[in-house]
Amino acid sequence: MKALGIGLIGTGYMGKCHALAWNAVAPVFGDVPRPRLAGLAEASQDLAERKARELGFERATGDWRTLLDDPGIDVVSIATPNAFHPEMAIAALEAGKHVWCEKPMAVTLEDAERMLAAARASGKVAALGYNYIQNPVVRLVRRILDEGRIGAVNHVRLEMDEDFMADPDAFFSWKSEASSGHGALDDFGVHPLSLLRVLVGGVRRVCGHMAKPYADRPLQGGGRRAVETHDIASVLMELENGASGVLALNRSAWGRKGRIFVQIFGSEGAVVYDQERMNELQLYTADDARERQGFRTILAGPQHPPYDRFVPAPGHGLGFNDLKVIECRELIRRIAGEAAHLIEFEDGIRIERTVDAIARSAREGRWIDVAADARREAA
């Protein structure tokens, strides 16, 4: 495996997270070559230089396109606002770079489809930042399901709730503008959908509803402006495997900070996962003796790879950033041609199509067949 040269665009929330992962992946895993942090792009040269210094990148630029011309850069991390993803990802792929792009792919499904087309045309790896699927505990869920320990899955409930939009007195921001997307649905609903995809599979039909907890918000300069996005989304689903499902999203849910609550029911048991307690899994299996049945709380430990690469002792806990380190290694392995656990554009597009179908369903007040898109595409 050769050492990869890395370019990073964006150093905010997830950009820093990428940078930390590129720094940590080699010492944590010990089985991949240390990446060369070649270049970093930010909105201005000054900011880029400061961030490059902090985050350990060799070169800095105020123009992200510069990174694409750098032959020392193999992979481009894209961690900019969603609206920039299409242009940057397509340009990077066309420049022959592998791409590691934050979720969601784009603001519109059309853009996402263009990104997929570019990825296919390039032959490069185009991966998405769906870090929650990397949690060793989520991987354990996958094994539990594969081994049939809860039987055939027949019902799924997914919730994602945070409260960053909960304050009715907070000023109107870009998150309330229609140009930012639908609201909770694409802002973070793609996360539970990514878990659904890797754990249970695809979505066949949806019926969505979106709501605005606050009709308008104060403007900083005085006055109020109508809110254009929906902080709440609720969805009924029929899954491709025949199971029924519910997806509920709320980014104005006071008290919820990073809750992704997943309940999967099967014919022989159930698993329950809460991202706010990301080092725990609840498992119920119907084959225990009746008087001793109950959900068991499994604490993450070295028996749940790759937890062991972080800490050799169980119950000591991984953090949010550690998931990105795991994802980073999967990406490196994927680029090296090895099997990897990643959501790439090919799979990510299905999440985008589901999001799009939900939004249309909510708008039109009726059930929509998600698969229709796929069939249309196949035709």
Binding window for a copy of itself (CB under 8 A); candidates: 101-109, 118-126, 255-263, 330-338: 255-263
Q: Segment 154-183, which members bind a copy of itself (CB under 8 A)?
A: 154-155, 157, 159, 162, 164, 166-168
Binding window for a copy of itself (CB under 8 A); candidates: 98-106, 108-116, 263-271, 343-351: 263-271
Q: How far is the CB of 110 from a copy of itself (least distance, A)?
A: 27
| Of positions 294, 363, 372, 377, contacts a copy of itself by CB under 8 A | 294
Cis peptide, bond prior to residue 192, ω within 30 of zero: no
| Of positions 100, 130, 310, 345, contacts a copy of itself by CB under 8 A | 310
Pair 14, 103: CB distance under 8 Å: no
Pair 266, 150: CB distance under 8 Å: yes
Question: In terms of Cα–Cα distance, which of 80, 139, 134, 123 is closest to 104?
Answer: 80
Q: Mask of contacts with a copy of itself, 265-284, x by CB under 8 A? A: xxxxxx-x---xxxx-x-xx
Q: How far is the CB of 378 from a copy of itself (least distance, A)?
A: 25
Q: How far is the CB of 220 from a copy of itself (least distance, A)?
A: 20
Q: How far is the CB of 305 from a copy of itself (least distance, A)?
A: 10
* Ramachandran assignment for 326, one of left (phi > 0), alpha (psi -120 to 50 degrees), beta (any other): alpha
Dihedral sign, Cα of residue 82, residue 84, residue 87, residue 89: negative
Residue 146 binds a copy of itself, judged by CB under 8 A? no
Q: Segment 8-27, which members bind a copy of itself (CB under 8 A)?
A: 12-13, 16-17, 19-20, 23-24, 26-27
Name the β-bridge partners of 209: 234
The SS3 call for residue 136 is: helix
Residue 292 binds a copy of itself, judged by CB under 8 A? yes
**Distance in angstroms (rounded) separating the CA atoms of residues 314 and 295:** 19
Q: Segment 181-220, which members bind a copy of itself (CB under 8 A)?
A: 207, 209, 211, 213-214
Residue 40 binds a copy of itself, judged by CB under 8 A? no
- Site size for a copy of itself (CB under 8 A): 101
Q: How far is the CB of 68 from a copy of itself (least distance, A)?
A: 23
Q: Which residue has the tokens 């980073």?
A: 328
**Distance in angstroms (rounded) separating the CA atoms of residues 348 and 197:** 9
Q: Segment 219-248, which members bind a copy of itself (CB under 8 A)?
A: 232, 234-236, 238, 243-246, 248
**Distance in angstroms (rounded) separating the CA atoms of residues 279 and 5:** 32
Q: How far is the CB of 362 from a copy of itself (least distance, A)?
A: 9
Binding window for a copy of itself (CB under 8 A); candidates: 98-106, 192-200, 262-270, 343-351: 262-270
Residue 144 binds a copy of itself, judged by CB under 8 A? yes
**Distance in angstroms (rounded) separating the CA atoms of residues 69 and 245:** 46
Q: HSE (CB half, 13 Å, CA atoms) of 22? A: 28
Question: Which CB, 19 or 112, lies closer to a copy of itself?
Answer: 19
| Of positions 5, 86, 181, 301, contacts a copy of itself by CB under 8 A | 301
Q: Which residues of 327-345 are buried (b: 16+ CB within 10 A; e: fewer)?
A: bbbbbbbbbeeeebbbbbb
Q: Which residue has the tokens 């991966």?
A: 127
Using CB atoms within 10 A of its CB, is residue 294 exposed (0-12), middle (13-18) or buried (19+)?
Answer: exposed
Q: Segment 315-374, which members bind a copy of itself (CB under 8 A)?
A: 315-322, 365-367
Angle between helices 109-122 and 345-364 (to 10 degrees): 170
Residue 298 binds a copy of itself, judged by CB under 8 A? yes
| Of positions 65, 114, 259, 341, contacts a copy of itself by CB under 8 A | 259
Tokens of residue 328, six digits = 């980073």
